[in-house]
Copies of this chain bind each other. A is one copy, B any other.
Amino acid sequence: MARKTKSVDIAFRKHDHGRCQRQLLSEARQLCEARKLRLTSRRRQVLEILLASHQPMGAYDILAELNRANPAARIAPPIVYRALDFLMSEGLIHRIESRNAFISCVHPGHQCTAQFLICRDCEQVAELEGRDPALLVEADNLGFAVDHSVVEITGICAQCQKHAG
């Protein structure tokens, strides 16, 4: 029943985080299975780190987490970037261009246009369900074949405005 209402996403809202994480990980597994793709343990680790954080993380933050988890290993950047590339190509995570950061996707697999509200105070990010903006229609009218869109709105969320207030 929440389906059709305005879909602000779970950032900016309280939710059962552990449950949300497990849910999304399980969706990721299913999706990879359906597509005959390998959600290897490295890829899963990276996804889990992003799911746990539920906020944007830089590649090197993720790297640090990985190295904390595997103190023996000394993992290097390309490993992280490769896992991120895989996860992005399957729509399991998004890149936040205006922050050089990555965040887990809240609607894995939906090929919708992801749109983000980014609070520059608390650093939280809300992913909005992307109905195509008018812009995409216009692009189409111009004969421009869209293949990826980046929509990132920066500002201060309601919560932080109150606190500052």
Q: Identify the A interface with B (CB < 8 A).
A: 6, 8, 12, 97-98, 115, 117, 119-120, 126, 128, 131, 133-136, 138-139, 141-158, 161
Cα distance A128–B154 in the bound complex, in angstroms: 20
Complex contact A117–B145 (CB within 8 A): no
Cα-based distance from A161 to B143 in the complex (angstroms): 9
For residue A152, which residues in chain B have a CB less than 8 angstroms away from its CB?
97, 149-150
List the B residue with the shortest CB-CB distance to A8: B142
- Chain B residues near A138: list those with CB within 8 A: 6, 128
Closest to A151 in B: B151
Task: Closest B residue to A97 by CB, please name it.
Answer: B97
- CB-defined contacts of A97 to chain B, threshold 8 Å: 97-98, 150, 152
Asked whether, in the complex, the Cβ of A155 is within 8 Å of the Cβ of B151, the reply is no
Pairwise interchain contact B133-A117, C-beta atoms closer than 8 A: no
Question: In the complex, which of the residues B142, B143, B153 contacts A135, with contact meaning CB atoms closer than 8 Å?
Answer: B153
**In contact, A117 and B98 (Cβ under 8 angstroms):** no
Q: Whole-angstrom distance from the CB of A119 to the nearest CB of chain B?
A: 8
Cβ-closest chain B residue relative to A130: B135
Chain B residue at smallest Cβ distance from A120: B147
Q: Is A153 a contact of B142 with CB atoms below 8 Å?
A: no
Q: Which residue of B lies closest to A142 (CB)?
A: B8
Assembly CA distance A143 to B117 (angstroms): 11
